[in-house]
Amino acid sequence: MRRPLEMARHVYTWFIYNIYKPLSTILYRQAFNKMTITSNIIPRKNHPVSRNLISPSALKVMHRLHTKGYEAFLVGGGVRDILLGHQPKDFDIATNAHPEQVHALFKNSRLIGRRFKLVHILFGREMIEVATFRGQTSEQNEKQSEHGMLLRDNVYGTIEEDAIRRDFTVNSLYYSPKDFCIYDYLNSMNDIQDKQLRLIGDPETRYREDPVRMLRALRFSAKLDFEISPETRDPIYEFAPLLGNIAAARLFDEVLKLFLSSHALSIFQNLLKYGLFGPLFPQVHQTLESHNRASFYIKLIEAGLHNTDQRIRAEKPVTPAFLYATLLWPEVDRIWQQLKSEGVPDFPALQQAGQQALHAQVQHISIPKRFSLMMKEIWEYQIRLQKIQGQRPLQLIEQPRFRAAYDFLLLREQAGENLNGLGKWWTDFQVKHPAPVHHKSRKPRFKTNNTDSHDKDDKKRSRPPRRRKFNQG
């Protein structure tokens, strides 16, 4: 019985990768090349994009490219955000100049990227990204993984081809500072007016090429308050598992973009809705699905993300360590309770639970050590904060991680966990005993010109020199 099943599996795999995949790629490329490109040029009087709203550094880059005979356009989020009345976060430029040509024009630039080369031009802390127009790929210059994900795609083309190669229609608008017009090749202005987020091309193939586009769809939808179009939304349920093929280091950055966008709560709910949370946090997702405390865990994550959104909107700092400590707590707590039931003492059980949860998670999302160490401290302090007798509270309040651990304690209570009023006790204690400032001023390494300080230093006895020991022989 086992042999026929193995043969059927081999036949199915052979069919998928030798017939279905090549055929679907050919048909998609033919349909992609036949996409209707209608150049809609919108004059300055019909749009609100002005040079006064664009970074002077971006204008300087486009001006130099123009003077050297190249085309240069502001593209993507910069144009989109200005049209929506938002302050753009980045100003990206598209040009027909190749990366090496752009790099030669700017001494303050650097070449980056493997799959598609880009140029980063630095103006102090501001960075302007310049990309060459992308063209249509062919089987000779395209490299894909076995799952259809693009691994190399270094093909240059025209502005019309570049517009088709972008991810969403709202990101395919081009502004020229030469004639002050917006160039719209895919009726993107209609989608902006209708508040529709639409993927360019065949969604199934585009998701296979880069599964991260599914995360970007949720992020842009929440950020712009746009509705995802049905043809863009429906395939997400099927292709969500493809996120498991993305490098763990890249997913760390993408998850931070999701949850530090000031819309973390709504994005988390949509990740669960569309089946995208599971590939990112498999163990946590399984706990949320099956554990008897699942409702509490979901409330805790939602409360933590709500607090994160409020801090970002108030322009307060947020550390990724606290964010990931919140997201992984359901799995840590589950393992912790299990180990305690097996007879492991409280504190070692929590340490082992944190280590096991982190080890399983970094297989999917790589978490830098500087954050994972802080996460462990936040978790372990949940036990230390229970010790409120004698001088222990005064010692704890002086520790650098106390504030983050205290906030996490309040978060647990906010989600409905009964900690016997521990959060209120620590709140009252801090009112009576304010926490010290950790960046204490150090004594000067060198003597000052103040005569009083000279007198005090003269009175101090210097440390006698250490005696040398000689071998007697």
Q: State the CATH number of the domain containing residue 338.
A: 1.10.3090.10
92 is catalytic: yes
pLDDT at position 408 over 60 = yes
Full residue range of the structural domain in which residue 319 is found:
282-432
Instruction: Give the integer Cα–Cα distance in Å for 217 and 168.
Output: 8
pLDDT of residue 158: 93
Count CB atoms within 10 A of the CB of residue 409: 21
Look at residue 138 and tell me if it is in a domain. yes
Q: Which of 164, 180, 212 is where one domain is finished? A: 212
Instruction: Please tell me whether the overall predicted TM-score, pTM, comes out greater than 0.85 for this model.
Output: no
Helix boundaries (H) for 342-471: 346-361, 369-384, 392-397, 402-414, 422-432, 451-459
Q: Which helix (H) or strand (E) holds 94?
A: strand 92-95
Q: What is the CATH number of the domain that holds 125?
A: 3.30.460.10
Claim to verify: residue 202 and residue 292 sit in the same structural domain: no
Beta-carbon contacts of 314 under 8 Å, excluding residues fewer than 6 positions away, are none
Segment among 80-84, 135-139, 168-172, 253-257 with least mean pLDDT = 135-139
pLDDT value, residue 472? 45
Read off the pLDDT of each residue in 226-237 and give the average, rounded to a whole number: 96
Q: Is 465 exposed, middle or buried (0-12, 13-18, 19+ CB in 10 A)?
A: exposed
Residue 252: alpha-carbon gap to chain centroid? 6
Indicate if 207 and 299 belong to the same structural domain: no
Does the annotation mark 407 as catalytic?
Answer: no
- Based on the fold, state whether residues 304 and 193 are members of the same structural domain: no
Q: What is the mean pLDDT of residues 251-274?
A: 96
Q: Looking at residue 151, what is its pLDDT?
A: 47
Mean pLDDT (whole number) for 144-160: 65
Does residue 225 belong to any structural domain of this protein? no
Indicate the pLDDT class of residue 3, thresholds 50, 70 and 90. low
Rg (CA), the chain: 29
Does 208 share its domain with 331? no
Q: Is 238 within a domain?
A: no
The answer to whether residue 435 scores a pLDDT higher than 90 is no
Give yes or no: residues 52 and 201 share one domain.
yes
Is 227 part of any domain? Answer: no
pLDDT tens for each residue of 30-85: 444 445 567 799 999 999 999 999 999 999 999 999 999 999 999 999 999 999 99
* Per-residue pLDDT tens over the stretch 298-340: 999 999 999 999 999 999 999 999 999 999 999 999 999 999 9
Which among 175, 196, 212 is the end of a domain?
Answer: 212
Q: Mind listing the pLDDT tens digit for each residue in 73-97? A: 999 999 999 999 999 989 999 999 9
The predicted model gives 209-214 an average pLDDT of 94
Cα(327)–Cα(342) distance, integer angstroms = 25
Q: Which pLDDT score, from 0 to 100, does residue 44 have?
A: 94
Given the residues 81, 167, 210, 309, the one annotated as active site: 167
Categorize the per-residue pLDDT at 449 as very low, low, confident or very high, splitting at 50, 70 and 90.
Answer: very low
Contact 53, 78 (CB under 8 A): no
The 3-state DSSP class for residue 122 equals strand
196 and 306 assigned to the same domain: no
Residue 18 lies in a domain: no
| The domain boundary residue, chosen from 182, 212, 242 | 212
Amino acid at 315: E
Provide the number of structural domains found in the chain.
Answer: 2
Which residues are CB-neighbours of 96 under 8 A, at least 6 positions away?
Answer: 70, 71, 132, 133, 156, 158, 159
The mean per-residue pLDDT over the stretch 167-181 comes to 95
Contact present, 226 and 198 (Cβ < 8 Å):
no
192 lies in the same domain as 307: no
Mean pLDDT, rounded, of the chain? 86
| 205 and 320 assigned to the same domain | no
194 has catalytic annotation: no
Say whether both 180 and 329 belong to one domain.
no
Residues 299 and 398 grouped into a single domain: yes
- Catalogue the long-range contacts made by 102-110 (C-beta closer than 8 Å, 24 or more residues apart): 102/65, 102/130, 102/132, 105/64, 105/65, 105/68, 106/61, 106/64
Residue 96 lies in a domain: yes
Asked which of 159-163, 377-381, 436-440 is least confident by mean pLDDT, the reply is 436-440
Indicate which residue of 81, 92, 309, 333 is catalytic. 92
